[in-house]
Structure 1
């Protein structure tokens, strides 16, 4: 028998959960600091760590102004340990999620190999996050291996008493994209909801049981309800949050408004759409206060689109 899971955030009592995601590693260094091969030099490493601290400080500014709900942060150990160390571990503070997957891999792979559980045990975050790319038309053998690995993660996190946050990306296969004339929007609107539903069901059949599913934005309330119904069919206590996928602002706001109309969706986890421009500008002007303010405002703009 495992230890009971104890979350410091509950949707019923604490309201929506608004996570600022900044667990980007390989892409963060490459896009904003010119890092090659995820091997920053000393100056690049210092810049990345400072940027992550600034992003969190922007969140702190915004959290003090939240009209409803709780603030959360998704941050990595590799570049964001300073942030992790700064977060008070109490019932009213910022909710902490940390990733356990290696950055930039096609299939789920542990960042810390066999030591991943020791890292989670030491940090004791509110959530341990896995990032998974899957599609029902991906090779069945590789999918089965990934399901088995994720089922083992589910069991081990359950024994530890740390809930899983499952980030699911469902990229189109070439055939699926061809079927909608190569139109990525049509794929998102017409095909992806059903594929997401099937992937969630496949995970559930293999014993993968996250507390929260983090899914790509959905274009219609009907599609959001379809996905939510499958989540709850597998676990009546599981919730969903919507991710940003670096979408254009208008589309991101639409996804937030759609998700907030479906009760099973309890918040969001948004990253680059909130902080990327601010950090890019900071790299030019080195104005810490301007970066904090810009990040706080963009975060609160997203919160304002949530129909609580």
Structure 2
């Protein structure tokens, strides 16, 4: 089990985590704005998001531990500042927008993780048991390589496993394909991929959420799940938060665009002052953290 350095956040702590995610690289980050963004606009936007996060931390959060997910490409200085301050940081190791999981820095991923010393190495993988066998095999081998490495480091593995969502009707809240997700989790577990935190798409059913936790804990009784935002509308994310908070084995959320997308676009387009955008992002993050805690203790 992961043993954190002083000031870091361990996965064996029952306190739920509230992770503000802005590790999206160029295409995914700029997708929130129809006109796109330059590299400089992406960097400045991430600085603004981090400033909003600091507002959340300074204001205090009862019952949750705040943290961030940020990339090296556009956010290296922010990651260093957060780690040095004892903030829990997750950093992606995957190359963006790939159908098959590929290390961003190839075999040098170890050196990059050791340089930044994040609490979590985060790997995003699109993996379904119906995918081509060769694709699945390659991804299992690479994720096992990552898992074996972090097992010997003060770093935990956060796996963002994307299988897709469904909606059972025109007005239904979208929900993850639970059977597909659990089957994918099982294949990775059988391949020896040890996951500390499963970052998963949301569900509107507590029964489904409990099934996901049960699968996560088949291989490790201490594993936990966090719900992601998937850029979904806020009412959808709110429902996912309520369900996950009420389900033992879930340990918080990791949400990005659903928190900061609208405010960043308005700021770049000149319809929000920087201070307004910061407060909007901080307020949404704080509100959802409080909502999560409130539902969890009912």
Tell me whether the two structures share a fold, i.e. TM-score over 0.5: yes
SS in 2 for 1:223: helix
Cα shift at 1:218: 1.0
Show the counterpart of 2:15. Answer: 15
Given the alignment of the two structures, is residue 66 of structure 1 paired with residue 61 of structure 2, yes or no? yes
Show the counterpart of 1:287. Answer: 273
SS in 2 for 1:164: strand
- Runs of at least 4 residues off by over 4 Å: 11-14, 183-189
Correspondences of 1:138-149 after superposition (within 5 Å): 138-149=131-142
Distance 1:241 1:129, change over 3 A: same
Show the counterpart of 1:53. Answer: 47
**Runs (5+) with no aligned partner, structure 2:** none
Show the counterpart of 2:3. Answer: 6
Show the counterpart of 1:81. Answer: 76
Scaled by the length of structure 1, what TM-score is found?
A: 0.87
Q: Is the Cα contact below 8 Å between 1:134 and 1:171 reproduced in 2?
A: no
Show the counterpart of 1:100. Answer: 93
Cα shift at 1:29: 3.3
Cα shift at 1:248: 1.2
CA offsets per residue over residues 195-252 of structure 1, 9 Å max, x none? 1111111110000111100000011000000010011111111111000111111111
Given the alignment of the two structures, is residue 247 of structure 1 paired with residue 241 of structure 2, yes or no? no
Once superposed, what is the RMSD of the aligned Cα atoms? 2.3
Show the counterpart of 2:118. Answer: 125
Q: Is the Cα contact below 8 Å between 2:83 and 2:118 reproduced in 1?
A: no
Q: Is the Cα contact below 8 Å between 2:83 and 2:89 reproduced in 1?
A: no
CA offsets per residue over residues 70-123 of structure 1, 9 Å max, x none? 101000010011211221435xx4210000001111110111112111100100
Show the counterpart of 2:222. Answer: 237
Show the counterpart of 1:29. Answer: 30
- Farther-moved stretch of structure 1 (104-113 vs 191-200): 191-200
Cα shift at 1:160: 2.7
Distance 1:152 1:186, change over 3 A: farther
Given the alignment of the two structures, is residue 199 of structure 1 paired with residue 184 of structure 2, yes or no? yes
Cα shift at 1:184: 8.8
SS in 1 for 2:125: strand
Q: Is the Cα contact below 8 Å between 1:193 and 1:223 reproduced in 2?
A: yes
SS in 2 for 1:208: coil
Given the alignment of the two structures, is residue 162 of structure 1 paired with residue 155 of structure 2, yes or no? yes
Distance 1:217 1:125, change over 3 A: same
How many residues align? The count is 288
Q: Is the Cα contact below 8 Å between 1:53 and 1:82 reproduced in 2?
A: no
Larger proportion of helix: 1
CA offsets per residue over residues 12-37 of structure 1, 9 Å max, x none? 656110000000012113544855xx
Cα shift at 1:131: 0.1
Cα shift at 1:302: 1.4
CA offsets per residue over residues 173-210 of structure 1, 9 Å max, x none? xxxx8xx99x6988954x71111111111110000111
CA offsets per residue over residues 141-171 of structure 1, 9 Å max, x none? 2111111111111001212331110001103
- Quote the Cα distance in structure 1 between the aligned partners of 2:234 and 2:209: 19
- Quote the Cα distance in structure 2 between the aligned partners of 1:136 and 1:95: 32
